[in-house]
Structure 1
Amino acid sequence: MLLHYHDVVIHEHDYETLEDKQWMNDTILAFHQEYLDRNVIPDSAKILLLRPGMVELIVHIQDVTYISSALPPNLNHYDALFIPVSDSRPHAGFSGSHWSLLVFLKRSHAFYYYDSMGESNIAAARLTARRMIAILGYANQPPRFIHMNTPHQANSADCGAYVIAITDNLVQRMISSSSSGLTVERLMHIEKSDIRAVKNVRKELRKLIQQLR
C-alpha cells in the first residue's frame, strides 16, 4: 500500500498508471474526487462527485431501487452531479478502456457529456444518464442529453487525465463567485486552453500523492 487517503487506498500499481502514456484506473479518479471533496469544494456548494465504483454499480445493476441505501442521500438536493463514465462490461471486473465525463446540472435540467475521443463512450453515457434519471425521479420529465465539444486526446491513454482536468475546471467555475453571472452555455463550455495539459495533470497528482504519504 502506497497511501490510504480516507476512503481510497492507492497501491503501487495504481500510482504507476499516472506515468505518461498509461491508462489511469478508477482508483486514481476516485482519489482525485476524494481530494476535491475534502480540500476544494466548500461545504456550502451543492456539488456531488460520484465515485467510479458507484457509477459502475448504478449502470450494471438490474434494478436501481436495490441500491438506494448505498447511494448518497438527497441526490435531488445537489446542483451538480459529476459522473465518470467507462465502457466496462458487467461481470468482468473493471474491464473498461476509456473514460468520459457526464455532468448533470440541475438549473438547466440537462446532462452534459464530455468525451476526449468524440463519441467513443456515448452509448455507455446515455445508459448512465437513463439510470440516473430513474434514481433522480425524473422519468416523467427526462433531462436533455447534450454532447459537448471536448478537446481531443492525442493518444489512447489520456482519457482519465482529460476527465480530471475538465472536472477541475468545471468545479472551479461552479464554486467561484466571479462565475455566478455566467450563462449555462458559458459555464459548461470547455476549450483546450481552459484545462491543464495532461502531462501536468499526471505530474501534479504524483506529487500530491507523495506529499500525502
Structure 2
Amino acid sequence: MADPNRIVLNFHNTLLRESDVNLLMGPHWLNDQIISFYLEYLEKNVFQNARGLLFISPEVVQCLKFVTRQEMSIFLEPLNANGKSFIFLPLNDNNEVKAGGNHWSLLVFSRPESTFYYYDSLSSGTSLRSLRPFLLELAAAIDCPEFDVRQGDCVKQNNSYDCGIHVVCNVECLARRAFKYNSLDDDDTTVSTDEDPTKMTTQKIRQKRQEILNIIQKLGGKL
C-alpha cells in the first residue's frame, strides 16, 4: 500500500512527499509544496547566475499578506528583496495565514519599471482592486513608494484545477524575459514564436506536469 507520507525528494529547503508528487499525476490542484519546489529549482538550477531575480515561496507570501510593513521587512531583509530587480510572488486566495485556498495567481515586481504585474489565468483583473492595500505595504517594504500596477497578459486556464501549473509556467517564462530584456513589458520584446522561452503557450502548460515529474526524478526523486 502506498504511503502518502513517504519522502520522495529532499531538495535544499523543500521536502516532497508522495502525496505532493501525486498531485502532478492527475487533474489535481497544486499545493504549496510543489510550487515551492519548482521556484527553488528555478533559483538553484536554472537561474543560479541571475542575481537580480528573487523567487518567494508561497508560504512566505501568505504570511506577508497578513503582517505589518515592519514585519514584512523582517521576512524580506534576509532575502535581500531591496537589492533584487524582479520579485516573483505566487498568490493564494486563502484568507487565513495557512496553506490552502482555491486559486493561485502571480504577482511580479519589476524594479526597473517600478511596476507590479499581476497575472491571473482565471479572471481579467477584478482581483487587482482587492490587492491594492497589500501592494501599498509591500511597495514600501521593498523601497518603492511610487509604483504602477498592470494586468499582465497570460494564457487562460480551461479547467478548474490548473491555476498552479499556470503560475509556475508564468514564473519561468517571465523570469527568462526579465533576465533577457530587463523588463516584463511585452512591447520590449521582439520574438513571439512558440519556441520563444519568454512566451507562455498552451503547449507548455500541457507538458508541465510531466516535465516537473521528470525533474524530480532527475534530481534523485524516488517516484
Asked if Structure 1 and Structure 2 have the same fold, meaning a TM-score greater than 0.5 normalized by the shorter chain, the answer is yes
Once the two structures are superposed, the pairs formed by residues 1-213 of structure 1 within 5 Å of their partners are 1-61=7-67, 63-71=68-76, 72-91=78-97, 93-118=98-123, 119=125, 121-123=127-129, 125-139=131-145, 141=146, 143-176=147-180, 179=181, 184-187=185-188, 193=194, 194-195=199-200, 196-212=203-219, 213=221
Match of 2:4 in 1: none
Alpha-carbon distance in 2 for matches of 1:200, 1:163: 14
- TM-score, normalized by length of structure 2? 0.82
Q: Write the deviation string for residues 7-60 of structure 1: whole angstroms up to 9, x where unpaired.
A: 000111111111232000111111011111111113343010111111111101
SS where residue 60 of structure 1 aligns? coil
Alpha-carbon distance in 2 for matches of 1:49, 1:186: 24
Structure 1 residues not aligned, in runs of 5+: none
Deviation at 1:121, TM superposition (A): 4.3
- Closer, same or farther in 2 for the Cα pair 1:87/1:183, shift >3 Å? closer
Which stretch of the first structure deviates more once superposed, 9-18 or 129-138?
129-138
Q: Write the deviation string for residues 96-148 of structure 1: whole angstroms up to 9, x where unpaired.
A: 11111111101110000110002464355434423311311334x2x111012
Alpha-carbon distance in 1 for matches of 2:91, 2:84: 19
SS where residue 102 of structure 1 aligns? strand
SS where residue 82 of structure 1 aligns? strand
Which amino acid in structure 1 is aligned with residue 164 of structure 2?
G
- Closer, same or farther in 2 for the Cα pair 1:124/1:202, shift >3 Å? farther
SS where residue 113 of structure 1 aligns? strand
- Closer, same or farther in 2 for the Cα pair 1:183/1:36, shift >3 Å? closer
Alpha-carbon distance in 1 for matches of 2:148, 2:9: 40
Contact 1:170–1:187 (CA under 8 A) maintained in structure 2: no
Structure 2 residues not aligned, in runs of 5+: 1-6
SS where residue 112 of structure 2 aligns? helix
Which stretch of the first structure deviates more once superposed, 156-165 or 11-20?
11-20
Count matched residues. Answer: 206
SS where residue 166 of structure 1 aligns? helix
Contact 1:116–1:150 (CA under 8 A) maintained in structure 2: yes
- TM-score, normalized by length of structure 1? 0.85
Which amino acid in structure 2 is aligned with residue 5 of structure 1?
F
